[in-house]
Amino acid sequence: MSVAQILTRAQTMGVRLSLSGDKVKLRGPANAIAAITPELAEHKPEIVRHLRNVARVPEECVGALRSADGGFYLPWGPYLTPDDVSRMRAELVGMIEELANLECWPETYRDDVLSRAIRGPLADLLPNIAYFNERLSEARAEAAARAALDRRTWRGEGFDERRGAQ
């Protein structure tokens, strides 16, 4: 019998296996544990190796919960009403349009970005707002710096750079 078959049989019998160092801990009905223990003992090194691999949590999933099928999920997040979503999408559209104006995007590019932002999945809404808010802050700072530089630059008739204004 393979390790996968043994683990499946243990699960159907209500026995849960966990790892504590090199020891395999069993939880479940006593009669089921007694029945499955000989098979587990026979394949202990493979089972320990399997449980170690299963126990590893990828770095990006730290803090997530593990579903029964072994996948990771995050059960929390902000609750958003339909009005919140509409407001946030309108805010995102405003940010994209302002950024497009500040950076002089071609109309087709602006329309493409807007359609992707509006039609994108709800899961992209908060990351998009954060991304475009950061880009917009940088673009506003650059525009303010250009405006300040333009105000300092004097060019006109009657101005001699060597002597100043005449």
- Provide the pairing of β-strand 72-73 with 65-66: antiparallel
User: pLDDT tier at 70 (50, 70, 90 boundaries)?
Assistant: low
Greatest C-alpha distance within the chain: 105
pTM: 0.47
Mean pLDDT of 132-161: 81
Mean pLDDT of 99-126: 92
Mean pLDDT of 141-153: 87
Least confident residue range of 19-23, 38-42, 45-49, 88-92: 19-23
- Residue 158 gets the label, from left (phi > 0), alpha (psi -120 to 50) or beta, of left
Please give the pLDDT value at position 62: 66
Please give the pLDDT value at position 61: 65
130 to each of 42, 48, 96, how far by Cα in Å?
54, 43, 12
Please give the pLDDT value at position 16: 87
Check whether 5 has a pLDDT greater than 80.
yes
Report the half-sphere exposure of 40 (CA within 13 A, side-chain side): 23
Check whether 90 has a pLDDT greater than 80.
yes
Check whether 91 has a pLDDT greater than 70.
yes
